[in-house]
Amino acid sequence: MKRRNFLIGATAITLAEFLAGCETQADLKIQLLKNTIPAQIVSKFQGELTSPSQLSFHPQESLIELFSLLQIWQRKLLLEKEKLSIDQTKKIDIANLVTIGDYWLANAIKQELIQPLNSQALLRWNNLPEKWQELVKRNNQGDVNSEGKIWAAPYQWGTTLIAYRVDKFKTLGWEPKDWSDLWRPELKDNISLLNQAREVIGLTLKKLGKSYNTKNLDEVNNLKSELVKLNQQVKFYSSENYLQSLVIGDTWLAVGWSNDILPLVKKHKEISAIVPQSGTALWANLWVKPAASAETSLTQKWIDFCWQPQIAEQMSLLTQIASPILLEVNSNKLTSEINNNPLLLPPKEIMEKSEFLYPLTDNTIEQYRKLWKEIRINRE
């Protein structure tokens, strides 16, 4: 699954400019998704360390590039082990932490690209909401397991939203509230959807009162017929350029990810957005530890730092991507900018009905592929 990045303006100084040290000599090396950690947050972390430390934060453009890095390091390590002793392999330059999306976690575990985190050293683990703890507890096959090891540290999360043109809906005399509104006839040929089977089939399942993680699609009555009707409403599918048409008014409504949509709503007054009332899909950015990364106490200190309520709030405001820690903080202690932004921090009743997209069995994946292909062929 792709999730596009966004620029958050002058508040986010380029980390590469801020931290110019040599990565191989750094005490803490982190490969992260571009613009998810503002430089001033790194500066504050450095200032809190009791002893001088060299930090290297290297941003990458996409989650795919970061996942590929994990694979490259693993292949390089295997090749080096054939020629070098175990002690010499420690010289391979591997980051201490890497950002991946929750969608990539199962494959990272199955391919043995990462190692579990030391649960005893995660001092603020209990500050995470239960749903985020469940997300990263996995067995060795990458499946969610309440008794599994802790394979990642969630530090950001977002949602799938409905964005729409305020001016167009004024003419219609109503505003979208839930997924079911996408089927209303007046929106025919005025909708853009993500080119993602899990998202589109998932929102249709939600409309039918089912879970995004439904295990057997064949048992869901009317699923295919509802998807056929929705497909007839759609002008185009895209996971990359789905908002441009909304900006110019070529489409009236778009389904997309909050990290794309929140900055757009802030910039364009004619565009608004909602979190569907019946619940939506959640996604998260995670810190993971590469399989052969060197041990350092700074790894745990950085994770703990990201989970401090004050730091979590600052990061959320600067990036417009929420920290899971905010969900456990009393709303009276949060700034009005966060409390009054239901797109950044949706109401509790909607959050309870929202879900992360968990790994599927091979049989269910095949059902998705077959259904998605049938729907798209019918469109053509």
- What domains sit in the chain, N to C, each tagged with a CATH number? 9-157+283-345 (3.40.190.10), 160-281+357-379 (3.40.190.10)
pLDDT tens per residue, range 106-163: 999 999 999 999 988 999 999 999 999 999 999 999 999 999 999 999 999 999 999 9
pLDDT tens per residue, range 21-31: 444 578 999 99
Question: Which residues neighbour 301 within 8 Å (Cβ) at sequence distance 6 or greater?
Answer: 45, 49
Q: What is the pTM of this model?
A: 0.90
Q: What is the mean pLDDT of residues 198-218?
A: 97
Residue 98: closest CA among 276, 280, 299, 255: 299
Tell me, rounded to whole angstroms, the distance of Cα 136 from its chain centroid: 13
- Contact at 8 Å (CB) between 288 and 85? no
pLDDT of residue 294: 83
- Residue 273 scores a pLDDT above 50: yes
pLDDT tens per residue, range 225-241: 999 999 999 999 999 88
pLDDT of residue 276: 98
* DSSP assignments along 190-221, one per residue: -EEE-S-HHHHHHHHHHHTT--TT-S-GGGST
pLDDT of residue 55: 95
Q: What is the mean pLDDT of residues 185-198?
A: 96
- Contact at 8 Å (CB) between 296 and 96? yes
pLDDT of residue 8: 28
